[in-house]
Amino acid sequence: MTEEKISRRAAMKKTMNAGLAAGAVASMPHWILPALAQGETLVPFSDMPEDFSRGPASPGGTHFMDTRQISDFYSDNMDFYVVQHYGQPQVDLNSYRLKVTGLVENEKEYTLADLRAMSQFQIDAGFECGGNRSALYHGLIGNANWGGVRLADILNDAGIKPAGEEVVFFGADIGSELIRETEVEQAFARSLPVADAMRDVNMLALEMNGENLPQFHGRPLRLLVPGYYGVANVKWLTQIHVQDRRYMGRFMGRDYVTLKREMIGDQERWVENSVTKIQLKSSIVRVTRMGNQHKITGFVLNDGTPLRNVEIKIDNGPWQVANLDPRATQYSWKLFSMDWNASAGEHTLVSRVTDVNGNVQLTEEQMPEKVSRWENYAQFPRTIVISG
Ligand SMILES: Nc1nc2c(c(=O)[nH]1)N[C@H]1C(S)=C(S)[C@@H](COP(=O)(O)O)O[C@H]1N2
Ligand SMILES: [Mo]
């Protein structure tokens, strides 16, 4: 690692550990670091089992965060959620090549050294799995600082031919799919129309929070499409292919497809859409207590549209504007908090976010009728018991 990277990593660790004595940090597994200030305690939600925590990510499996523990802007690499559908392939770093093929002027192959030698940039981005949901207390989520190469640089290097319409991203992981009674081997893949692929925030990420991309998160290279649900961010990326028509694989055309009833012009219709841009969403995840003062914390995710505000409603009280964490950037998650003079007894807490275009996060009852399990962005009321 370069000096710059090491100091960046050190600075992040410092933020993560702020408020804890050095000894306490060393003796505690990092995934349960409570990051509580002196005298501060975590107040349990009454809608959530106390033993909800699952420990850190472990090889091969999925991992969700215990969202009560969200207190840092950057998620620890071992606590950022993990999801994949065909296992976690081991990619040999020496023989690794990223191939760029199809409707391009020059088909290309890059080694990892080639990619590292190109101009690098960094971006903060948070995302969730399209299947994130209240039963998991929205734990399929994370926020990190990513480092890597601009996707547009790679595409410009190869030169997309005029007939190129769609850019397909293939992972090294392969699964067996039954399609019309035929068993076929398919790699995990997602695609973007050329115009979307050329957005200058899209990254081929080599680093996560200042470290080489961890195995769970797509070592050595993944696509990062800021503002999109996790499924867009192809891990273990090995091939980029330009073609003249839409790509329809399982994860574009059959799975991660939302079926909902909505107005299409003046007609109500059932429509299916691929899971792409993150819907406007907020959720309360944490309540802490210091003396008699309580503090409510939550997160916002969306597609990068600027926000107007986040509000919190306690019981049947008025909506009150919460404070947004100033570290938020366009595509990061946005943490918010509000001090609360809580009275003893059971309370219901709910948040809602509004963007600059006036879109307001809907209640569960206001959500469009939806039969698929993807894109769960309704307001999420929480219950908590405050002791006297
Ligand atoms: N190669 C590959 N990339 C993948 C997947 C996969 O199964 N294979 N799963 C996707 C899904 S559904 C999600 S939610 C995110 C999760 O990324 P993370 O594990 O780094 O949080 O990876 C995406 N990228
Ligand atoms: Mo996902």
Parent domain of 149: 98-119+142-263
Q: What does the pLDDT look like over 316-345, one tens digit per residue?
A: 999 999 999 999 999 999 999 999 999 999
> What's the CATH number where 184 sits?
3.90.420.10
Comparing 50-59, 97-106, 239-248, which segment has the lowest mean pLDDT? 50-59
Mode of pairing for the β-strands spanning 166-179 and 237-243: antiparallel
When pLDDT is averaged across residues 105-118 and rounded to a whole number, the result is 98
Residue 85 located in a structural domain: no
pLDDT of residue 108: 98
Confidence band, pLDDT 50/70/90 cuts, at residue 37: confident
Q: Does the beta carbon of 206 lie inside 6 Å of ligand 1? A: no
Cβ burial, residue 182 (10 Å; 0-12/13-18/19+)? exposed
Q: Does the beta carbon of 85 lie inside 6 Å of ligand 1? A: yes
Q: How far apart are CA 303 and CA 315, in angstroms?
A: 29
Percent of the chain with pLDDT over 70: 91
When pLDDT is averaged across residues 244-262 and rounded to a whole number, the result is 95
Q: How far apart are CA 220 and CA 206, in angstroms?
A: 6
The DSSP letter of residue 43 is: P
Residue nearest to atom 21 of ligand 1 (CA): 82
Q: Tell which one of 84, 138, 145, 223 to mutate to probe ligand 1, the residue whose CB is within 8 A of the most ligand atoms.
A: 84
Torsion of CA 132, 135, 136, 140, to 10 degrees: 0
Residue 5 in this model has a pLDDT that exceeds 50: no
Residue 362 located in a structural domain: no
Residue 218 located in a structural domain: yes
Atom number, ligand 1, closest to the C-alpha of residue 216: 19
Residue nearest to atom 23 of ligand 1 (CA): 231
Question: Which DSSP string do the residues of 150-193 spell out, in sequence order?
Answer: EHHHHHHHH-B-TT--EEEEEEEEEEEEEETTEEEEEEEEEEEE
Q: What does the pLDDT look like over 41-65, one tens digit per residue?
A: 999 999 999 888 878 899 989 999 9
Task: Say how many domains are in the chain.
Answer: 1
Cα–Cα separations (whole angstroms), residue 361 to 82, 139, 257, 358 = 26, 19, 21, 10
State which H helix or E strand residue 112 sits in.
helix 112-117
**Assessment of whether the complete model's pTM goes beyond 0.75:** yes
Q: Does the beta carbon of 99 lie inside 6 Å of ligand 1? A: no
Residue 199 located in a structural domain: yes
Q: How far is the CA of 231 from the centre of ligand 2 (A)?
A: 5
Residue 108 located in a structural domain: yes
Q: Does the beta carbon of 188 lie inside 6 Å of ligand 1? A: yes
Residue 89 located in a structural domain: no
Cα–Cα separations (whole angstroms), residue 311 to 58, 300, 353, 361 = 36, 11, 6, 10
Q: Does the beta carbon of 86 lie inside 6 Å of ligand 1? A: yes
Find out whether 166 and 109 touch, Cβ atoms under 8 Å. no
Residue 1 located in a structural domain: no
Say how many C-beta atoms besides its own lie within 10 A of residue 17's C-beta: 17
pLDDT of residue 119: 98
Bridge partners of 171, per DSSP, are 237
Nearest to 234 by CA among 202, 273, 200, 199: 202
Q: How far apart are CA 145 and CA 65, in angstroms?
A: 17
Residue nearest to atom 12 of ligand 1 (CA): 231
pLDDT, averaged across the chain:
92
Find out whether 304 and 331 touch, Cβ atoms under 8 Å. yes
Q: What does the pLDDT look like over 9-33, one tens digit per residue?
A: 444 444 443 433 444 444 444 445 5
Question: Which ligand places an atom closest to the C-alpha of 218?
Answer: 1
pLDDT of residue 370: 87
State which H helix or E strand residue 262 sits in.
strand 257-264
Q: How far is the CA of 230 from the centre of ligand 2 (A)?
A: 5
Question: Token digits for 122?
Answer: 């960094």
Question: Which ligand places an atom closest to the C-alpha of 81?
Answer: 1
Residue 104 located in a structural domain: yes
Task: Assess whether the previous peptide bond of 381 is cis (omega < 30° from 0).
Answer: no
Mode of pairing for the β-strands spanning 141-150 and 222-224: unpaired
**Cα 136 vs. chain centroid, distance in angstroms?**
15
Q: How far apart are CA 164 and CA 158, in angstroms?
A: 12
